[in-house]
Amino acid sequence: MTRPTGALVIDIEQVTKLYQMGEETIHALRGVSLKIHRNEYLAIMGPSGSGKSTLMNMLGCLDTPTAGRYEFNGKNVASMEDDELADIRNREIGFVFQTFNLLPRSTALANVELPLIYAGLSPSIRRERATRTLQDVGLGERMSHKPNELSGGQRQRVAIARALVNNPSIILADEPTGNLDSKTGVEIMALFETLYEQGNTIIVVTHEEDIARHARRIVRLRDGLIESDGPVG
Amino acid sequence: MGITEILRMALGSLGVNKLRSGLTMMGITIGVFSVIGVMTAVSALRGSIENGLSFLGSNMFQFAKYPVNGGGGDEEGPNRRRYEMRRDITLEEALRYQRLMEGVADVVCVKSFENNITVQARYQNRKTTPGITFCGSNEHFITANQYTIDLGRNLGADDVEFARPVAVIGQAILKRLFPSESPLGKMIKVNERTYTVIGVFADKGSSFGQNQDAIVMVPLTRFLNDFGVARHTINIATQAPSQLLYNETIDKGITAMRIVRGLRPEQENDFELYSNDSLIATFAKVADVIAAGSFVISGIALLAAGVGIMNIMLVSVTERTKEIGIRKSIGARKASILTQFLIESVAISLAGGVLGILLGVAGGNGLALMLKASVVFPWDWAALGLIVCSGIGVGFGFYPAWKAASLDPIEALRYE
């Protein structure tokens, strides 16, 4: 296990996040610093309330820090407007959610094409790239099925294809096996392994030790601070 | 991202809630239908009045006891009573007027109508339906009322002078009484009075539900002899020698009328003056009131429909919070979401509008056809209708769409 040598993708320094809940101020993150390089496979762990979800939202550019520095591929995300963040999410980040979050009335192919639509690509290019990506995740035969006609594992493969289709800098997976049986979970983790070996950068947020062990590096959070950060050992 | 993509997404989600979209659409359809229907009927009538039909010949004006709309439309109202109190215009007055106008205007048509709806013409065992127009006039009737002679001859001055029992008949009478023979020289009976047919008018068509070809014209003198002078007021139509002299001739005509009616200078005219312009203006005034009324009513209907659209779009945004969250998480910009929802509301509104326009044009033309006016498609109103519907879609759809576009992606993704 060698330390990654790729370019710096995510550079977070002393990031804090405060929430106002009525009278109370909640310190979700109290000063987190993290560097993630290209082609890393990282797991973020922590009990509920540790700031794990907040950090994931921040990494995924769904949210901006209250204070601190966040650079994504050298660009300062912390001060970006909503539409700029949307563009970053579209081009640089592929989300995989616990509940899949597919559009229920669209076919697998249409779901995978969606990010390319927002990226402004032409229909023929979209179709070709979405088709190829679905084939890559092993769903070439079921492209015209709607989510409710697919099994949980197949749905998560569609979601992964959607995350991959725009060639993002990172794939951000939030409890990707949480809604799957253990056998299917193993298959999905094997798919992530393949993607990692193909050169993708993968961040998995989980509370399951077994899942985290698939990664090469584990970051543990507690009470809004990084408790430990090191290779899987 | 392309507008076609957003369009496809928006229309796709409308298809999911067909009943709901359809019901919301109905509000717009009803509002647009009412205004387009009324406007179509009005412009069909207006068109047939301004083009197809002139009540009077060119450069003509007419004096009569009653105004063109019979005294304000209210049969029992005080206005009607006022006109009824006037003296009838008699043959003597008309002839005196004619003499006074000699040298000023040579074409003076005097005419009187039998308004009894039982008037019926018969020839041997064939008869017309009751309610034909029976009129006594002189040789200038065809000029004044824009008829032409198709067969035989017009009334002559001597027919009037000697009160000869002769008649000129319209095409509808001809077809009914003489389906396969020449009518000239034949004796027809109108309410048991006998007349010899000397001529036939050419086809004239209908206006305002009145068949202008169901007409029998006899000399005015004969008419008054046969049907009595009581209740037969005479209308006097005068043709100015030229457009240039029109207003001057009207002034002279009014003076002549005042003289024959024996009015003192301080007395008001006890007769009505009308011209093509005044007839059209009278109709236009009525049409404008109808138009304004239907405008206000459908405006209110459209406002209500707009609120309905806003309501349904707010429901839709709430239902689809998760979808909005997903779209935002994979990179939809604010403008994309905004446009998607705006297109949905505009699509509902426009679809309702198009349906309303089609129904309104069909309904309005149906009404116009019943009134024997020609069919029109009111492009200007249809275009205005589409613009207004788009405006309603954007106006009432904006708040829900903006609400959707402004959702926090994290909150939206968490929504179940």
Q: How many Å apart are CA B127 and CA B172, to the nearest integer?
A: 11
Residue B125 sits at φ, ψ, to 5 deg, of -100, 5
Q: Is B244 on the interface with A (CB under 8 A)?
A: no
Please report which confidence band the pLDDT of residue A223 belongs to, taking 50, 70 and 90 as the band edges.
very high
pLDDT exceeds cutoff 90 at B129: no
Region for B19 from its dihedrals, namely left if φ exceeds 0, alpha if ψ lies in -120 to 50, beta otherwise: alpha
Domain positions in chain A are: 39-63+82-231
pLDDT exceeds cutoff 90 at B114: no
Q: Is A161 on the interface with B (CB under 8 A)?
A: no
The per-residue pLDDT for B79 is 67
What is the amino acid identity at position B5? E
- Partner B, chain A 190-219, Cβ-Cβ below 8 Å: none
pLDDT exceeds cutoff 70 at A2: no
Across the interface, of B326, B410, B413, the residue whose CB is closest to A103 is: B326
Q: pLDDT by residue (tens digit) across A67-110?
A: 999 999 999 998 899 999 999 999 999 999 999 999 998 999 99
For the domain bounded by A39-63+82-231, which CATH number is listed?
Answer: 3.40.50.300
Q: What is the mean pLDDT of residues A24-49?
A: 92
Handedness of CA B74, B66, B145, B243 (dihedral sign): negative
Please report which confidence band the pLDDT of residue B17 belongs to, taking 50, 70 and 90 as the band edges.
confident
Across the interface, of B13, B322, B328, the residue whose CB is closest to A86 is: B328
CA distances to A142, A153, B77, B129, B136 from B67, rounded to whole Å, are: 81, 86, 14, 28, 20
Please report which confidence band the pLDDT of residue B34 belongs to, taking 50, 70 and 90 as the band edges.
confident
pLDDT exceeds cutoff 70 at B153: yes
Percent of chain A with pLDDT over 90: 86
The per-residue pLDDT for B399 is 96
pLDDT exceeds cutoff 80 at B46: no
Please report which confidence band the pLDDT of residue B12 belongs to, taking 50, 70 and 90 as the band edges.
confident
Average pLDDT across chain B, whole number: 86
Q: How many Å apart are CA A25 and CA A23, to the nearest integer?
A: 7
pLDDT exceeds cutoff 90 at A197: yes
Please report which confidence band the pLDDT of residue B52 belongs to, taking 50, 70 and 90 as the band edges.
very low
The per-residue pLDDT for A150 is 95
Q: How many Å apart are CA A198 and CA A195, to the nearest integer?
A: 5
Please report which confidence band the pLDDT of residue B73 belongs to, taking 50, 70 and 90 as the band edges.
very low
Q: pLDDT by residue (tens digit) across A163-186?
A: 999 999 999 999 999 999 999 999
Element (H, E) at A225: strand A225-231
Please report which confidence band the pLDDT of residue B403 belongs to, taking 50, 70 and 90 as the band edges.
very high
Q: pLDDT by residue (tens digit) across B166-205?
A: 999 999 999 989 998 899 999 999 988 999 999 999 988 7
Q: What is the mean pLDDT of residues B114-135?
A: 86
pLDDT exceeds cutoff 70 at A5: no
Taking contacts as CB-CB distances below 8 angstroms, the residues of chain B near A90 are 330-332
Dig out the tokens for B237 from the structure: 């139509």
Residue B392, min C-alpha distance to chain A (Å)? 28
pLDDT exceeds cutoff 60 at B74: no
Please report which confidence band the pLDDT of residue A48 belongs to, taking 50, 70 and 90 as the band edges.
confident
Are A62 and B335 within 8 A, CB to CB? no
Radius of gyration of chain B (CA): 32
- Cβ neighbour number for residue B28 with a 10 Å cutoff: 30
Residue, of B82 and B318, whose pLDDT is higher: B318
Residue B333, min C-alpha distance to chain A (Å)? 5
The per-residue pLDDT for B49 is 67
The per-residue pLDDT for A173 is 95
Matching residue, tokens 């709901």: B20
Among B18, B329, B333, B339, the strongest candidate for a mutation testing the A interface, having the largest count of A CBs within 10 A, is B329
The per-residue pLDDT for B167 is 94
Among A80, A114, A158, A170, the strongest candidate for a mutation testing the B interface, having the largest count of B CBs within 10 A, is A114
Q: pLDDT by residue (tens digit) across B262-288?
A: 898 888 888 888 887 777 777 788 888
Domain positions in chain B are: 3-52+282-414, 87-270
pLDDT exceeds cutoff 80 at B54: no
Q: What is the mean pLDDT of residues A217-222?
A: 95
Beta carbons of A182 and A150 less than 8 angstroms apart: no
Q: What is the mean pLDDT of residues B358-362?
A: 92
Across the interface, of A87, A97, A105, the residue whose CB is closest to B331 is: A87
- Cβ neighbour number for residue B190 with a 10 Å cutoff: 23
Element (H, E) at B293: helix B276-319
pLDDT exceeds cutoff 80 at B2: no
Please report which confidence band the pLDDT of residue B299 belongs to, taking 50, 70 and 90 as the band edges.
confident
Model ipTM value: 0.94
pLDDT exceeds cutoff 60 at B305: yes
Nearest to A68 by CA among A103, A29, A116: A29
Helix (H, G, I), strand (E, B) or coil at A227: strand
Please report which confidence band the pLDDT of residue B335 belongs to, taking 50, 70 and 90 as the band edges.
very high
Q: What is the mean pLDDT of residues B149-176?
A: 92
The per-residue pLDDT for B13 is 79
